[in-house]
Structure 1
Amino acid sequence: MTSKKKKIIWFFIIVLGLLVIVRVILPYVVLHYLNKTLATMEGYYGHADDIDIALIRGAYTIDSIYLNKLDSTTDKQTPFFGASEIDLSVEWKALFHGSIVGELVFEDAMLRFTKYKVEPKEVRSDSSSFKNLLDDFMPLQVNRVEINNGSIQYKDETSKPPVDIQLSNAYLLAQNLRNSYDSSVVLPASLTAHANIYEGELALNVKLNPLADDPTFDMNAEVKNTNLVKLNDFFKAYAKIDVNKGRFGLYTEVAAKEGKFAGYVKPLIQDLDVLGKEDRKDNILRKMWEGLAGTVGEVFENQRKDQVATKVPFEGNLKNPDTNVWYALSSILQNAFIRAIQPSIDQEINIATVDTQKEEKKNILQKIFGKKDDKDKDKDKNKEEEKEKEKKKDSDKKDDDKDKKN
């Protein structure tokens, strides 16, 4: 073997050895960096057990990660996020379309919001902090997200009784978030999700354009057959009542584009029982309050369907939304005394209807109690102007007649 061939062989052996060493050391280096980042995040503390790297697949997997909120004064940690596994990789489907983007797959993911007199802006802060953490460890723009067996939990340990409610067995799939394929359609991205809510089911379907300057989407969602008895701690803490029997459903459609939106929300309660034999030991004020709530529910209940329901439409632009309260009250009365509202999505809202200006027919409540909108004011103004013109014509005609007589 010549000296030159020996050098080439040794070169490849050394390179291969270095690759092996890097491959062995790299997971420990990345894991050390990850845990250092998790431990030094402002307001949080986290840890991951292990990292597996798949160089050929262009991916790495984080095993058993958690992130807790940290109280800087008491050093108390409150669980915020956790997952048994997070897989970060190149999305091969997009790669075949010429885009280098990434995908995230979460297994057994948990997101918890804990209330200690928390404001909504703190929830937004928590969410953005978590997103920033993912951005640090995903060098590519995320085009696909999948969540398996996820849960979202809300806890309020300051209330009486303490509140602990959650959405469980959640599955979510979001695709084409960076418009890496199927870019010819108006709403190229999609998001589907389903989950369980206390014996009930949640279903969500969204078509969207996440790269548009203004929110542009077409969404429908429904919650069916949720057992209200399972939410009694929530009702006792915030409404001072408990439910002995009842099922809850909610149906909604919303679409938006160019800063405008339109939609409706349709809540529905079936087989409701607030005051029963289970409440005999309650104090007199509690019984009176529950009796009032039960009576209102009974009055506005559709007896044949045994349900209380309404439909609340809304529309407008993001800076000036408009909700039709009188329509909602009219729907309650209609459900109670005329025709039961159907427990389903109405399939009447989509992105094409956002710009559609419908001539709204006012119900009796709007005519009696509702304030006049700009269109009504313009109509009244035009009528007044027409009357003034007619009066002026009559006056001019009388003057002309007098002049002729003279």
Structure 2
Amino acid sequence: MTPKKKRNIRIIILVVVVLIVVARVILPYVVLTYLNKTLADMKGYRGHVEDVDIALVRGAYTIDSIYLNKVDTVHNRETPFFAAKAIDLSVEWKALFHGSIVGELIFERPMVRFTKDKVEPKQIRNDSSGFKQLLDDFMPLEVNRVEVNDAQLQYKDEFSKPKVDISLTHAYALAKNLRNSYDSTALLPASLALHADLYEGKLSVNARLNPLADEPTFDVNAELKNTNLVKLNEFFQAYAKIDVNKGRFGLYIEVAAKQGKFTGYVKPLIQDLDVLGKEDRKDNVFQKLWEGVVGTVGTIFKNQSKDQIATKVEFKGNLKNPDTNVWTAIYNVLENAFIQALQPSIDREINIASVDTKKEEKKNFLQKIFGKKDDKDKKEDEKKEKNKKKS
């Protein structure tokens, strides 16, 4: 190789190195400017990113200290909606080894707050869609993996009396294979696991799903154990006008869906419920009367041997027209109150294979009296009516 060629190669290498260094220096500023401009242009929101760090080697960038506030256009008042210590956006290498170029998101200590407004009953849905649009703007790739560390989910109602402020804390969530970049032959290739704290209680959700199916296809188990109802007293006072002096709450859910149909059950459990006590002395006579009614209902529907209130509501139907039978709920409450107490755990009887079962539902006593008649019953009634006219 001639000295001239060697010199040209050195120059090319030097130019490439300089370009990489310049890009590494300038790129964070360019990305930061773009992100803050995107946040400034969001209708109904105002936000800011403190800093951006670029990691070219692993194809990633990290957003440092971001917040997004809702803006009241009438009073120009800002309400916190989302914040995070950091968000890492990168290429998912596991999917890359399977031939898919997709991304992953990692949230560190995020906070999402839903605030109830007087004239915005659909605000939570609107906030969620706005947040999804924001992530789509920030992440150029389709997201296949999401991890959330130490999250907090809040709900606030500034207009209730008393004001309501409840939170789901220390949440960890991991969603994998959302774009089916591997395990493509599986019926439910994606997974979601979530764990969180709710006022001394523990929430856990485990799900298998197919986000790319034409119709919702999933198998979900969820349970909430041992939540202290006393710590939710602001919520009960605002919306139910009662004081809870003692009680623990649990909730167990299994649901599966495919081909437009779903089946499952929900099983709430309340233990050691007490809505009357010495703490109620300052309540007026109407407040005491309402709490007395609630306390009496709790006593009637309570399994005396285990001091718990529980029921199990089974449901199934079409996702376009879900039909949860209220009479089944009432019957199960009465049955559990006087016959048996439900075990505080998931029954593990619902899965993706359960959705296609076509067993004829047996009607309980209340359903026979008050429930709506199905097509078979209507035909039998019409047949009887015709026979009466003939006779």
TM over 0.5: yes
CA distance in 2, matches of 1:17, 1:203: 50
- 252-261 or 240-249, which moves further after superposition? 252-261
After superposition, the C-alpha distances for 1:183-203 in whole angstroms (9 at most, x for unaligned) are 111111111101000000111
CA distance in 2, matches of 1:138, 1:102: 8
CA distance in 2, matches of 1:336, 1:18: 75
1:57 aligns to what?
58
Structure 2 residue 269 is the aligned partner of structure 1 residue 235: no
Q: For 2:322, what is the secondary structure of its paired residue? A: strand
1:207 aligns to what?
208
Report if aligned partners of 2:85, 2:110 keep a CA contact under 8 Å in 1: yes
Amino acid at match of 1:330: Y
| CA pair 335-262 structure 1, distance change in 2 beyond 3 A | same
1:395 aligns to what?
none
1:217 aligns to what?
218
CA distance in 2, matches of 1:382, 1:211: 47
Shift of 1:31: 0.7
Shift of 1:376: 2.4
Structure 2 residue 196 is the aligned partner of structure 1 residue 195: yes
2:150 aligns to what?
149
Amino acid at match of 1:212: A
- Counting only pairs closer than 5 Å after superposition, residues 2-401 of structure 1 correspond to structure 2 as 2-117=3-118, 119-381=120-382
CA distance in 2, matches of 1:361, 1:133: 49
Shift of 1:82: 0.7
CA distance in 2, matches of 1:317, 1:248: 30
- 112-121 or 321-330, which moves further after superposition? 112-121
Amino acid at match of 2:35: L
Q: For 1:323, what is the secondary structure of its paired residue? A: coil
Amino acid at match of 1:64: S
Normalised by the size of structure 2, how large is the TM-score?
0.96
Shift of 1:87: 0.5
Amino acid at match of 1:69: K
1:402 aligns to what?
none
Q: For 1:77, what is the secondary structure of its paired residue? A: strand
Amino acid at match of 2:367: Q
CA distance in 1, matches of 2:203, 2:232: 16
After superposition, the C-alpha distances for 1:212-257 in whole angstroms (9 at most, x for unaligned) are 1111111111111000000000011111111000001111111111
Q: For 1:305, what is the secondary structure of its paired residue? A: coil
Q: For 2:347, what is the secondary structure of its paired residue? A: coil
Amino acid at match of 1:61: T
Q: For 1:88, what is the secondary structure of its paired residue? A: strand
- 324-333 or 164-173, which moves further after superposition? 324-333
CA distance in 1, matches of 2:98, 2:341: 50
Shift of 1:112: 0.5
| CA pair 2-319 structure 1, distance change in 2 beyond 3 A | closer
Unaligned runs of 5+ in 1: 393-406
Q: For 1:354, what is the secondary structure of its paired residue? A: helix
After superposition, the C-alpha distances for 1:304-340 in whole angstroms (9 at most, x for unaligned) are 1111111112211122221121211111111111111
Shift of 1:266: 1.1
After superposition, the C-alpha distances for 1:76-121 in whole angstroms (9 at most, x for unaligned) are 1111001101000111111111111100000101110011125443
Amino acid at match of 2:323: D
Report if aligned partners of 2:168, 2:197 keep a CA contact under 8 Å in 1: yes
Larger radius of gyration: 1
CA distance in 2, matches of 1:355, 1:380: 29
Amino acid at match of 1:360: E
Q: For 1:321, what is the secondary structure of its paired residue? A: coil
- 362-371 or 195-204, which moves further after superposition? 362-371
- 285-294 or 362-371, which moves further after superposition? 362-371
Amino acid at match of 1:155: K
CA distance in 2, matches of 1:35, 1:212: 35
Shift of 1:379: 4.3
Normalised by the size of structure 1, how large is the TM-score?
0.92
CA distance in 1, matches of 2:264, 2:324: 10
CA RMSD of aligned residues (A): 1.8
Amino acid at match of 1:268: L
Amino acid at match of 2:149: N
CA distance in 1, matches of 2:48, 2:339: 59
Q: For 2:19, what is the secondary structure of its paired residue? A: helix
CA distance in 1, matches of 2:121, 2:81: 15
After superposition, the C-alpha distances for 1:356-404 in whole angstroms (9 at most, x for unaligned) are 111222222222332322232234456777x68xx99xxxxxxxxxxxx
| Regions of 4+ moved over 3 Å | 378-385
Shift of 1:2: 2.7
Amino acid at match of 2:378: K
After superposition, the C-alpha distances for 1:275-309 in whole angstroms (9 at most, x for unaligned) are 11110111111010101110111111101111111
Q: Using the aligned pairs only, state the percent identity.
A: 72
Amino acid at match of 2:213: A
CA distance in 2, matches of 1:174, 1:168: 18
After superposition, the C-alpha distances for 1:50-69 in whole angstroms (9 at most, x for unaligned) are 11111110111101111110
Report if aligned partners of 2:172, 2:195 keep a CA contact under 8 Å in 1: yes
CA distance in 2, matches of 1:16, 1:362: 77
